[in-house]
Amino acid sequence: VMAATAAVRAQAGTRQAPALWQMRWLPLLLMAVAAAEQQVPLVLWSSDRDLWGPAANTHEGHITSDLQLSTYLDPALELGPRNVLLFLQDKLSIEDFTAYGGVFGNKQDSAFSNLENALDLAPSSLVLPAVDWYAASTLSTYLQEKLGASPLHVDLAALRELKLNASLPALLLIRLPYTSSSGLMAPREVLTGNDEVIGQVLSTLKSEDVPYTAALTAVRPSRVARDVAMVAGGLGRQLLQKQSAAAAVHPPVSYNDTAPRILFWAQNFSVAYKDHWEDLTSLTFGVQELNLTGSFWNDSYARLSLTYEQLFGTTVTFRFILANRFYPVSARHWFTMERLEIHSNGSVAYFNASRVTGPSVYSFHCEYVSSLSKNGNLLVARLQPSLWQLTLQDFQIQAFNVTGEQFSYASDCAGFFSPGIWMGLLTSLFMLFIFTYGLHMILSLKTMDRFDDHKGPTISLTQIV
């Protein structure tokens, strides 16, 4: 696909496509930006008519489940064409359409021109802005069961040699990467190349006059909300997202049983005993033989245990204890890191870490999680003074709802009122006080009400002593 993408990009002309903001389906995508957490968009279109009625359009903020998705797909698979194309991208989010779709007047820079044309010309189309990631990830399996045909992984060259029959079911799977293998291509360039691949595939089917139903979705969200700020000036303050793979030189620690359960990462992991500091970063992250004995996970309780041999002359174990609870007031689950334990020489040092908390669907991120007061003192020793000190810089952890080896969106420990905001507020209040005082002084001025008349007696002013 990448080779075909490069060839298509080299042969791409200057064809103009309709602006993305003119598309009737775009408002649904934009309205669902705030609602998308672990959802991906799904775009469907077909060469047959009346496969999806207007009533199928979703309302603002709606998240399509796997059961609802099947109600949309079943009519198209039973009544529509038997040839189904599944364009499966590695990562895709609603923010991609906002950032790279030419929705802010720069329509000539749209990365989805062929997709726009396909939806404009398709007799039937349906856009689901937010589909549960699980439903989208199992879409190929669902289509295989409904069609009774195994998915065929094809590229442009194989598609030109393939002869499709309108009466026989066929499931063609075309993988579209989100980032290049070298990592040197920007997301806009890759999305544009993927769009060109979609255009070439549709042109091939059109030249052969083959009826088809096509779907575009992704395995997981790309989470590009921070890129939107370059195009639209920002979307306001949101829960911060930490992409460790982009900024880190080492992968996170991952505890697995049947699947990844706990993820832990820090830019720097340092510990001190009796004021003697040791850097554990290189001994923790990117180490294949890291000792995780004692780690445990279930839906309500998680324990990450890190054991180090010959640390301060003995064996030391660090245990991160996290709990997941449901709170009726917020109607959702929240996790809390209840404590951090340091085991050595038969003794245990406890640190309260209850301020490390957030919704269980998110990870937690903080610039510093430390027992030092200068770094926020999020770790509070149960016994004071403590012989142990601990500092985690650029800390991130997730113990529930982990998907793969990547963190979810992060709930950040940073307060809303930063020092800059406080300085601005205080300066504004001070300037408002000066303005109010000056206005009061101006309104207090009194003009003269008596004047000297040369024909009358001279005005005498009594001196006030």
Nearest CA among 267, 266, 270, 265 for reference residue 390: 270
Amino acid 233: pLDDT: 40
pLDDT reported for residue 465:
52
The burial class, CB within 10 Å (0-12 / 13-18 / 19+), for 290 is middle
- At 169 the pLDDT is 84
Q: Are 109 and 195 in contact (CB under 8 A)?
A: no
With a cut of 70, say whether residue 27 has pLDDT above it: no
In this structure, the number of other CB atoms found within 10 A of the CB of residue 63 comes to 18
370, amino acid identity:
S
Tell whether the model's pLDDT for residue 10 goes beyond 60: no
Q: What is the mean pLDDT of residues 290-307?
A: 92
**pLDDT at residue 428, as a whole number:** 95
Q: What does the pLDDT read at residue 295?
A: 92
Is the distance from CB of 229 to CB of 401 less than 8 angstroms? no
Give the H/E segment covering residue 456: none
User: How far apart (Å, rounded) are the C-alpha atoms in residues 183 and 360?
Assistant: 31
- Range with the poorest average pLDDT among 22-26, 206-210, 283-287: 22-26
pTM of the model: 0.43
Task: Give the pLDDT confidence of 435-444 residue by residue, as tens digits.
Answer: 999 999 999 8
Write down the pLDDT at residue 89.
84
The answer on pLDDT for 188 being more than 80 is: no
Average pLDDT of 310-335? Answer: 90
* Number of Cβ within a 10 Å radius of residue 387: 14
pLDDT band at 244 (very low <50, low <70, confident <90, very high): very low
Low-confidence winner among 246-255, 283-292, 354-363 (lowest mean pLDDT) = 246-255
Q: Give the range among 34-38, 321-325, 458-462 with minimum mean pLDDT.
A: 34-38
pLDDT single digits (tens) 106-146: 566 678 888 888 888 888 888 888 888 777 777 888 888 88
φ, ψ dihedrals at 408, nearest 5°:
-80, 180
Alpha carbons 316 and 294: distance in angstroms, whole number? 13
What mean pLDDT value characterizes the chain? 77
Is the pLDDT score of 307 beyond 90? yes
Q: Are 244 and 252 in contact (CB under 8 A)?
A: yes
Distance of CA 464 to the CA centre of its chain: 76
> In 3-state terms, what secondary structure has residue 95?
helix
Residue 76: is its pLDDT beyond 60? yes
